[in-house]
Amino acid sequence: MNLLVKQLGRAILPEQYQPRFYKSYKKLYYFGLRYYCPICQSHLRQFLPFRRRLNARCPVCSSLERHRLSWLFMLQCTDLFSSQRKKMLHVAPETCLTKIFQTCPSIDYVTADLRPYAMLQMDLTQIPFPTETFDVIHASHILEHISADRQAMCELFRVLKRGGWAVLQVPIKAEITFEDATIIDSQAREQAFGHKDHVRFYGKDYYSRLSEAGFIVKPKKLPAQLNPATARKFSLNSHEDIAFCTKF
């Protein structure tokens, strides 16, 4: 954001109004009709690049392709925003989504992460909640960071209520998952797994791992992904499946 605009906002506005001012400024600055972010409802002339991907990050709310995909799925294909009250666990919460979930009156919202920015500091392999606590769980691009991912999946299954559902996204880039516990150096991990703090490359057998933990897994795609024009406008990954998991 332009430094002068930031300085102006700090100078003339109380602190509680500054985020709204900055958001309005960015919406105006990046306004256009080529793209649209469904999370912050911004009409944009462009999405910004992110890690060598063009048109990936929303300049207003900072959402990435996977965030917009999960949001659209939960909005269009689940009962998350129905009037029935639900308890939701959001692991490693993304700021662009947190602001929406925490203000929804029908969601009893809990965020968790190893880092202290979330409501609760928590190890996903030892979730400190009783069995069948949550109606909804959202964890996106987390399990590829966890060595004991099968234990984490079992814990997520344990705390999910019967009749509840979870969206558990990971990057899937192969047919078969590749992992090697002897690779511990950050540079070696980046070379082997594509990121310095990833511990595996998930394949399509990821869904089998979730099934082994107890979930009923239904990989899904949104209609928006299957429409090339819509996928481009929202900047969605048309090849990514949504790992929709239920418990009965």
CA distance 211 to 247: 10
pLDDT per position as a tens digit, 23-37: 888 999 999 999 999
Residue 107 neighbours by CB distance under 10 Å: 19
Report residues of the chain scoring pLDDT below 50: none
**In the chain, alpha helices (H):** 3-12, 18-29, 65-77, 95-101, 149-159, 186-193, 206-212, 223-226, 228-234
The answer to whether 248 touches 162, Cβ cutoff 8 Å, is yes
Q: Which residues pair with 165 in a beta bridge?
A: 136, 246
Per-residue model confidence (pLDDT) at position 1: 57
Q: Of 115, 107, 111, 168, which is closest to residue 139 (Cα–Cα)?
A: 168
Q: How far apart are CA 30 and CA 77, in angstroms?
A: 30
Chain mean position to CA 139: 6
Cβ count near 55 (within 10 Å): 16
What domains can you pick out in the chain, each with its CATH number?
1-63 (no CATH), 64-246 (3.40.50.150)
Q: What is the pLDDT of residue 60?
A: 97
Q: Which of 66, 69, 248 is CA-nearest to residue 171? A: 66
Question: Which pLDDT value is given to residue 123?
Answer: 96
pLDDT of residue 170: 98
Predicted pLDDT of residue 23: 86
Per-residue model confidence (pLDDT) at position 21: 72
Can you give the pLDDT at residue 20? 75
Helix (H, G, I), strand (E, B) or coil at 3: helix
Contacts of 79 (CB under 8 A, 6+ apart): none
pLDDT of amino acid 158: 98
Whether the Cβ atoms of residue 210 and residue 217 lie closer than 8 Å to each other: yes
Q: What's the pLDDT score for residue 84?
A: 94
